[in-house]
Amino acid sequence: MKTLGDQAASLSAYREAIRLRPEFGEVYWSMANLKIFKFEDVEVEAMEHQLANAELKEDTEVHFRFALGKAYEDRKDYDKAWEYYH
């Protein structure tokens, strides 16, 4: 859907995927990668909650960190964004 340019359908599908599997960090990364999308507070909180899980696989952690970095960058909180990117 994203590659077809249907951003709204993409977001709807991503949010459904999060509802079904909130621990699936790649979905959040995909949302962040839309570029025009900005995370809502509740989504940022959900990602931070998932990231606090010590049992995350490394690739899942990377996805959450990128998405959170993008979320804080969009909010112009560059110090917080850097914490997640670094």
Q: What is the CA radius of gyration of the chain?
A: 12
User: In the prediction, which pLDDT does 17 show?
Assistant: 96
**41 Cβ partners below 8 Å, 6+ apart?**
none
User: In the prediction, which pLDDT does 5 show?
Assistant: 60
HSE-CB at 36 with a 13 A cutoff on CA atoms is 7
Per-residue pLDDT tens digits for 8-66:
888 999 999 999 999 999 999 999 998 788 999 999 999 999 999 878 999 999 999 99
Helices (H), the chain: 7-20, 25-32, 41-51, 58-74, 78-85
pLDDT exceeds 60 at position 68: yes
> What are the tokens at 8?
């709204």
> What are the tokens at 14?
């991503």
User: In the prediction, which pLDDT does 83 show?
Assistant: 97
Question: Domain locations in the chain?
Answer: 7-85
